[in-house]
């Protein structure tokens, strides 16, 4: 390959990177434009694989419906499982139900219960939207994606990059093993402080979830 061909390839790669930046900025602009209008909101996270027959699906519907009835919009990642349940609960309660769908080659398909939909190609842009426009985080049982979103929120609050909003884990039996490990390992080894456990709450009762958020958030 001659020097001219090599430089052409370098220029093409750099130009592609520059255009990718415009796509990222475009996703931020579109998200801010639409979500700045939804009013006070809570973000729900959880497994995309949870079936409608699962008690956690039904519990998510109930909690999201209660938030809608109390004047909150509900934000989710827009997919199936827990995300679908939260959007469904909010929509069926007559509330604002927002789905921030991620474009993936498998598993993720937009659920039909969001009455506001946005599509994202970049996970980090979508996560910024779910944090920026939420006044509380509701974390239902889930997998790697849910854990990623949970610990990112905890880290942002711990490092004071965002204000400490209510961060609620629902499903005490599901979360018990993880929380025991955090206490027995991370606190014992002093990789976190004991009071870092105060960043989140574990609540199973739907009415108490709403009360915990409303104690902090004034509409």
Mean pLDDT of the chain: 90
| CATH code that applies to domain 3-214 | 3.40.50.450
pLDDT above 50: residue 11: no
Residue that wins the pLDDT comparison between 7 and 113: 113
What local confidence, expressed as pLDDT, does residue 8 receive?
41
Q: Residue 35: which of 74, 61, 70, 79 has the closest Cα?
A: 74
pLDDT above 50: residue 5: no
| Run of H or E residues at 120 | strand 116-120
What local confidence, expressed as pLDDT, does residue 14 receive?
56
Domain extent listing, the chain: 3-214
Q: Which residues contact 15 (CB under 8 A, 6 or more apart)?
A: none
What local confidence, expressed as pLDDT, does residue 108 receive?
65
Q: Residue 43: which of 132, 124, 145 has the closest Cα?
A: 132
Instruction: Provide mean pLDDT across the span 72-101.
Output: 97
Res. 20 pLDDT band, cuts 50 70 90: confident
pLDDT above 70: residue 203: yes
Res. 9 pLDDT band, cuts 50 70 90: very low
Instruction: Classify residue 54 by its DSSP letter.
Output: S
Calculate Rg over the CA atoms of the chain: 19
Name 97's bridge partners. 74
The C-alpha atoms of residue 16 and residue 11 are separated, in whole angstroms, by 9
The C-alpha atoms of residue 76 and residue 181 are separated, in whole angstroms, by 28
Instruction: Provide mean pLDDT across the span 56-82.
Output: 97
Instruction: Provide mean pLDDT across the span 63-79.
Output: 97
163-200 pLDDT per residue, tens: 899 999 999 999 999 999 999 999 999 999 999 999 99
Residue that wins the pLDDT comparison between 17 and 125: 125
| Run of H or E residues at 32 | helix 3-35
Res. 6 pLDDT band, cuts 50 70 90: low
């Amino acid at each position: 390959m001659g020097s001219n061909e090599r430089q052409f390839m370098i220029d093409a790669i750099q130009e592609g990177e520059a255009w990718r930046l415009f796509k990222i900025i475009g996703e931020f602009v579109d998200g801010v434009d639409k979500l700045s209008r939804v009013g006070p909101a809570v973000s729900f996270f959880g497994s995309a694989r949870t079936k409608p027959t699962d008690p956690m699906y039904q519990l998510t519907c109930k909690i999201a419906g209660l938030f809608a009835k109390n004047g909150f919009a509900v934000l989710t990642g827009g997919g199936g499982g827990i995300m679908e349940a939260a959007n469904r609960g909010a929509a069926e309660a007559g509330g604002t139900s927002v789905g921030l769908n991620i474009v993936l080659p498998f598993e993720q398909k937009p659920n039909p219960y969001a009455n506001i939909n946005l599509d994202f190609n970049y996970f980090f842009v979508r996560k910024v939207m779910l944090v920026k426009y939420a006044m509380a985080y509701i974390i239902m049982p889930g997998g790697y994606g849910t854990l990623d979103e949970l610990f990112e929120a905890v880290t942002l609050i711990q490092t004071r990059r965002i204000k400490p909003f209510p961060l609620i884990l629902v499903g005490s039996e599901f979360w018990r093993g993880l929380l025991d490990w955090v206490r027995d390992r991370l606190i014992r080894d002093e990789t976190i402080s004991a009071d870092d456990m105060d960043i989140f709450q574990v609540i199973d009762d739907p009415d108490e979830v709403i009360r915990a958020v409303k104690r902090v958030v004034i509409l």
